[in-house]
Chains A and B, each alone.
Chain A
Amino acid sequence: MTTHAATAQPSYLVDTGKRKGLLAWLTTTDHKRIGVLYLYSMISFFLIAMGVGFVMRLVQLTTFQKLITAQTYNALFTLHGVIMIFLFVIPGLPAVFGNFFLPILIGAKDVAFPRLNLTSWYFFMAGAILAVLSLFTGGGAPDTGWSFYAPFSLKTGTNVSLAVFAAFVLGFSSMLTGINFITTIHRLRAPGMKWFRMPLMCWALYSTSWIQLLATPIVAITLVLVILERFFGIGIFDPAKGGDPLLYQHLFWIYSHPAVYIMILPAMGAITEIIPTFAKRTIFGYKAIAFSSMAIAGVGSLVWAHHMFTSGMSNLATILFSLLTMIVAVPSAIKVFNWVSTLYKGSIDFQPPLLFALTFIFLFAIGGLTGVMQGALAINVHIHDTYFIVGHFHYVMFGGTGMGFFAALLYWFPKMFGKMYSKTAIYVSWFPIFIGFNMLYFGMLILGMMGMPRRYYVHLPQFHTMHVVATVGSWFLVLGLLTYFGTLLYALFKGPKAEDNPWGGVTLEWTLPSPPIQENFETIPTITHGPYHFEQESK
C-alpha cells in the first residue's frame, strides 16, 4: 500500500508546467490546488471575522462608555455576519474539501469542468473584494445585518448596493461549484464505483450541490431587486409604492434557510468519513445516512418561513412551517444515531480528528435541539430576535459547520500537505475552544431566554453578568483557535513528513501518497466493495 516512494509523477505541490510559483497557482486547473487556494482565502476571512466578533464582545463588557459608536457596532455585526456566512460557512467545506477530495473519493482525475472550477474561485475572490470595498466606499459600511431586510436596506444611506452585489457574485461562484460537483459525480465515478459504494461525503456534497442550484438563484434575483430598487425605485419591496417587505423576507429565506443546510451537510459528510476511520469499522446504516442527506436537502428547502413567525403571516402558514421545521429534525437525528452506533463496539483509536468530530456531535446536538424549540410557535414568539437565536445558530454554524471544518482539516491535513502536526498542541488547543465556546454561546442562550434582544448596542444591568461570562468565554475561544491555527501553520513549514495513511483509513484518498500526485491516480482503480471495508472487521 505504501510503495509510492518510487512513483514517477511529482506531487501536486511541485510546479512542472511552464509557469512557476504564485502564477502557477493562480492559473491552475488542478482541483487540489484550487481547494488549497480556497483554504487559504477562507481561513484568512475567518480570522478577520473572528476578530470582528471579538471586538463586538468587548463592547458588551460594559453597560456604558462604549469603545465604538453605535453606528460602527451596526457595521461590525453586519460585517461579521456577511464574512462568516458568505465567505466562510457557506462555501467552507464544499469549496475546500469538496474540491480537494470529491474527485479522489470517487476515483477521478479531476472535476468535470476544471476551468470552470478555477473561474468559481475567481468569482469567489471578486465577491470577497467587493464586500471589502463596500466597507470603505459610498455611504460607508452597511448597517443592515447580513439579512439586508427591506425596507431598511432600501432606505439606508450606507453602501448596501455594493455589499449586496458582492453577495450576488459569491452566489454565482457557489452555483458554478454546484454544477461542477453534480456533473462530476454523475460522470466521473471510477469503474465499479456504484452510487452506494461512494463514500458518504460524496452524498453530502451531492445533496448540497442540489440546494446550491435550486435555492441560490432565488436570493440572487432578490438581491438584484434590492439593487434595482435602490437605483431605480422599482417599488417591489417598497410599501410606499405598493410593494411588500414581506415578499422580500419570503424570497430571502427561500434561499437563506436552505443555505444553512448547504453549510451543515458537508460538515456532516466529513464527520461521517472520520468516524469509521477511528472506530475501525464500517459505518452503521450507510443508506440511512445517504438518504437522510437527500431528505435534509429536500425538507430543509421547505421550512424557510419559520424565520418569519412574528412578521404577520397567515395562521395556516405559521402552523405549516412549524410542522415542516419539526420534520427536518428527523433526518438530522438519524445521522447522529448512526454516528453513535458506528462508535459502539468499534476499536476506537482516539486521535485529534475524532476529538473534534465528537465535539461536533455534542455541540450540534445542542444547536439542533434549540432549533426544534424555536420551531415551536409559542416559544418562537418569546425568543424571536433575542440572543437565544444568536446562541442557537452559533451552536449549529460554529459548533456544527465550524467544528466539522476543523475536524476535517485535522483529518485531511496530512494528506493535503504531506506534513504531520503536533497532536499534543491540538489537544491543548481543544480545551480553551470547548470551554470558551460553551461559556460564550450557552451564555447567549440564557441571555436570550432572559429577554436580551440581538443586535443591540447597549444592554440593561440585569443582563450584565451573563454578558461578562460570554465575553470572557470569547477570550478562551479566540486563544484556543489561535493555538489551533498556529499549530497547523507551524506543521506546514516545520512539521515532520506525514505517512501516506496515518489514520489507517480505507477510502481511496489513503491509497495515494501524501501529498497526492498531480493526476491523483497512476491508474484509475476498479472498485469492488463499499467504502468502509476494514479488513480486521471481516476476519
Chain B
Amino acid sequence: MSEHVHRDDFGARLGMWLFLVTEIVLFGGLFIGYSYMRYKYPMEFHHGGAELNATLGVINTVVLLTSSLTVVLAIVAIQRAEKKRAMAFLGTTLVLGVTFLVIKSFEWAAKFHHGLYPNSAHLGTLPPGEQVFFGLYFTMTGLHGLHVIAGLSVLSVMLWWVATDRVRPDRYIHLENSGLYWHLVDVIWIFLLPLFYLAA
C-alpha cells in the first residue's frame, strides 16, 4: 500500500545494490572454483587458454566497456532533460550488447566445431585439467551471457519508458538501477577476460 505514496530513491538504490551483492557472490563462488582448479592444474589451464581466441575476447571487452559508457551517458542526458540524446545512448547500448552476443556465439560455434564442448568425444581425450578448464569456460561465459540477455531486456524496457516519459528528469531511479545491473555485467566480463583468454 505505502509504496504508492512513499518514494524513497535512495532506498531503491540500496535495494538494487543489495541485489548486486548477491550477484557478486554468485559469480564469486565460480571465481573461487576457478582459482581452486587453476591452482590444481596450472599447465592445463595454460594450454586451454591457448585454444581460445584472445582477439575476440579483447574486442568483446571494448564493446562492453563502451556499452557501459553509453548507459551512464544516458543517465547524464536524462538529468539534463535531453530525451532524444538519452534514447540514442540507450539505443547504442542495446546495439553493442547484441554485438557482444553475436561475437560470443561465433566464438562458441567455433569451439563446438572443433569438438571442444562438455561431454564431447574429443574433449574426453584431453587431460582432465583441460576438461575442467572448458567446463568452467562454458559455465562462466554462458552464465555471463544469460546476464547480458537479462540486462538487454531490462534496458529495452528502459528505452521504452524513456520514450513514453515514465523515466524522466525528475524520476529516473529505474534507469539508474538498470544501469547498475549493466555495469555489474561489464565488471564480471572484466574479470573473465584475463582469467580465460589471457591465461596462456
B-binding residues in A (CB < 8 A):
29-30, 109-110, 112-116, 175, 178-180, 182-183, 186-188, 213-218, 220-222, 224-225, 228, 232-236, 240-244, 247, 250-251, 254, 518-519
Within 8 Å by CB of A228, from B28, B33, B139, lies: B139
- Are A234 and B138 closer than 8 Å at their CB atoms? yes
Query: Within the complex, which residue of A29, A183, A217 is in contact with B14, where a contact is CB–CB below 8 Å?
Result: A183
Q: Mark B146-183, 1 if CB is under 8 A from A, else 0.
A: 00000000000000000000000000000000000000
A-B CB proximity, top 4 nearest: A242-B128, A234-B135, A217-B26, A217-B25
Q: Is A242 touching B3 in the complex (CB atoms < 8 A)?
A: no
Task: Please report the C-alpha to C-alpha distance between residue A352 and residue B158 in the assembled complex, in whole angstroms.
Answer: 54
Interchain nearest-CB distance for A208 vs B (Å): 14
Inter-chain pairs besides A114-B2, A236-B135, 15 sampled, C-beta below 8 Å: A112-B15, A114-B3, A175-B22, A178-B18, A183-B18, A186-B14, A188-B11, A213-B21, A218-B29, A234-B139, A236-B136, A241-B128, A241-B135, A242-B41, A243-B37
Contacts of B14 in A (CB 8 A): 182-183, 186-187
Complex contact A179–B41 (CB within 8 A): no
- From known contacts A115-B3, A217-B26, A244-B36, infer whether A235 and B18 are also in contact, taking CB-CB under 8 Å: no
Determine whether B112 belongs to the interface, using a CB cutoff of 8 Å to chain A.
no
User: Interface residues, chain B, CB within 8 Å of chain A?
Assistant: 1-3, 8, 10-11, 14-15, 18-19, 21-23, 25-30, 32-33, 36-37, 40-41, 44, 118-119, 127-132, 135-136, 138-139, 143
B45 → A minimal CB distance (Å):
11
Complex Cα distance A240/B118, Å?
A: 13
Among B22, B32, B44, B127, find the residue whose CB has the most chain A CB atoms closer than 10 A.
Answer: B22
Taking a contact as CB atoms under 8 Å apart, the answer to whether A242 and B131 are in contact is yes
Does B131 lie within 8 Å of A218, measured CB to CB? no
A158 to chain B, nearest CB (A): 21
Q: Give every chain B residue within 8 A of A217 (Cβ-Cβ).
A: 22-23, 25-26, 28-29
- With a cutoff of 8 Å between Cβ atoms, the chain A residues found around residue B44 in the complex are 242
Q: Tell me which residues across on chain A come within 8 A of B26, comparing CB atoms.
A: 217-218, 220-221
A187 to B32, CA, bound (A): 33
Among B2, B8, B19, the one with the most A-chain Cβ atoms within 10 Å of its Cβ is B2
The winner among B15, B30, B128 for most chain A CB atoms within 10 A is: B15
- Describe B's contact surface by its main secondary structure: helix
Q: Report the separation of the CA atoms of residues A222 and B36 in the bound assembly, to the nearest whole angstrom.
A: 14
List A contacts of B40 (CB < 8 A).
Answer: 244
Give the Cβ gap from A65 to chain B, nearest Cβ, in Å.
44
Known: A241-B131, A242-B127. A214 touches B21 (CB 8 A): yes
Cα A180 to Cα B132 in complex, Å, equals: 37
Q: Please report the C-alpha to C-alpha distance between residue A220 and residue B26 in the assembled complex, in whole angstroms.
A: 7
Q: Which residues of B are found within 8 Å of A114, using beta-carbon distances? A: 1-3
B8 A187 Cβ-Cβ under 8 A: yes
Q: CA A222 – CA B32 in complex, angstroms?
A: 11
Which residue of B2, B132, B135, B138 contacts A110 across the interface (Cβ within 8 Å)?
B2
Cα–Cα, bound, A251→B26 (Å): 11
CA of A216 to CA of B24, assembled, Å: 12
Q: Please give, as numbers and ranges, the residues of chain B lying within 8 Å of A243 by CB-CB distance.
A: 37, 128, 132, 135
In the complex, the answer to whether A235 meets B118 with C-beta atoms within 8 Å is: yes
What are 13 pairs between A and B in contact, CB < 8 Å?
A110-B3, A113-B3, A116-B15, A179-B15, A183-B18, A186-B11, A213-B21, A225-B139, A235-B135, A242-B41, A242-B127, A244-B36, A247-B37
Cβ–Cβ contact B11 & A183, under 8 A: yes
Cross-chain contact of B19 among A179, A232, A234 (Cβ < 8 A): A179
Identify the closest chain A residue to B132 (Cβ). A242
**Given A186-B11, A225-B139: A251 and B33 interface contact (C-beta under 8 Å):** yes
Query: Do B25 and A244 have beta carbons less than 8 Å apart?
Result: no
Task: Enumerate chain A residues within 8 angstroms of B118, measured Cβ to Cβ.
Answer: 232-235
Q: Which residues of A contact B3 (CB under 8 A)?
A: 29, 110, 113-115
CB <8 Å contact, A216 and B1: no
Q: Given the complex, which residues of A lie within 8 Å of B18, measured CB to CB? A: 178-179, 182-183, 213
- Given the known interface contacts A234-B139, A236-B136, the answer about A218 and B119 at a Cβ–Cβ threshold of 8 Å is no
Q: Which residue of chain A has its CB nearest to the CB of B137?
A: A234
Which of chain A's residues has its CB closest to B5's CB?
A109
Chain B residues positioned under 8 Å from A518 (CB to CB): 1
User: Which chain B positions have C-beta within 8 A of A218?
Assistant: 25-26, 28-29
Task: Give the residue name and chain of the A residue nearest to B24 (CB).
Answer: A217
Tell me, rounded to whole Å, the shortest Cβ–Cβ distance linking A229 to chain B.
Answer: 8
Question: In angstroms, how far is the closest chain B Cβ from the Cβ of A277?
Answer: 28
Provide the bound-state CA to CA distance between A241 and B40, in Å: 13
Cα distance A218–B139 in the bound complex, in angstroms: 15
In the bound complex, do residue B131 and residue A187 qualify as a contact, i.e. CB atoms below 8 Å apart? no
Task: From A236, A244, A519, give the contact of B2 (CB < 8 A).
Answer: A519
B15 contacts across to A, CB distance below 8 A: 112-113, 116, 179-180, 183
Q: Which residues of B contact A233 (CB under 8 A)?
A: 118-119
CA distance A37 to B18 in the complex (A): 25
One of A30, A188, A214, A228 near B25 (C-beta < 8 A)? A214
With A and B bound together, what is the CA distance between A188 and B14 in angstroms?
Answer: 13
